């Protein structure tokens, strides 16, 4: 049985001085690198948005960053422009050990729909392909680390649990945005779904 490490969105725009910086986002990189050697399967996810992505506040006239709008798939936070395809902000943090990864999964590249989870787009139906890859590798257990704990890490963990994986989130190697209480809300949701928070 193979255990997989899924490293969520450790990219420049989510680290200090980035467009959507998560406090202390760069402080987890060394610990993630040290963890990689204990896993047969390592997957890195990468937010990869086109410039016209509908989740960007500046693509909605008069909309404020961090406001919420209704999309066909449900409520959507409008984010500051971040992780635009090919930009330095979309690149992995330079200290992250990308060479140890067997797979790099890009998400959020469809202009009309955001993608927090590593497994599904925000419509909760369109798969990213990660589940199939992990099944092919014989993975039953997944450990998640990265950015941000209360968004992309949490959504990935919830989907992994729903798909039948044994899921652990190593919280010391995550950092959170904590937008309007999102951290405590998502921690409670993960615990309720059987996710182990370490």
Catalytic residues, which ones?
Answer: 9, 107, 152
3-class SS at 8? strand
Burial level of 182, CB count in 10 A (0-12/13-18/19+)?
Answer: middle
In whole angstroms, what is the distance from residue 62 CA to residue 195 CA? 39
First-last CA distance in the chain: 21
Distances (CA, A) of 131 to 93, 104, 111, 188: 25, 13, 22, 24
CA-atom Rg of the chain in angstroms: 16
CA distance 81 to 11: 14
Structure tokens at 155: 């959504």
CA geometry: angle 63, 78, 118, nearest 5 deg:
165
Please provide residue 85's backbone torsions phi and psi, each rounded to the nearest 5 degrees: -50, 125
């Amino acid at each position: 049985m193979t255990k997989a490490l899924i490293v969520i969105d450790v990219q420049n725009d989510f680290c200090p001085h980035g467009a959507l910086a998560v406090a202390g986002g760069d402080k987890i990189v060394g610990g993630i690198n040290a963890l990689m050697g204990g896993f047969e399967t390592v997957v890195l996810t990468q937010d990869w948005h086109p410039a016209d992505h509908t989740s960007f506040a500046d693509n909605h006239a008069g909309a404020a960053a961090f406001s919420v709008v209704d999309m066909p798939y449900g409520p959507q936070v409008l984010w500051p422009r971040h992780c635009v395809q090919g930009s330095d902000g979309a690149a992995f943090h330079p200290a992250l050990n990308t060479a140890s990864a067997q797979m790099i999964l890009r998400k959020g590249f469809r202009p009309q729909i955001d993608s927090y989870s590593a497994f599904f787009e925000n419509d909760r139906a369109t798969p990213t392909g990660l589940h199939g890859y992990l099944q092919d590798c014989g993975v039953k257990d997944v450990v998640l680390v990265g950015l941000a704990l209360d968004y992309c890490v949490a959504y990935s963990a919830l989907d992994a649990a729903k798909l039948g994986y044994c899921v652990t989130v190593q919280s010391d190697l995550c950092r959170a945005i904590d937008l309007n209480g999102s951290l405590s809300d998502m921690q409670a949701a993960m615990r309720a779904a059987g996710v182990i928070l370490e």
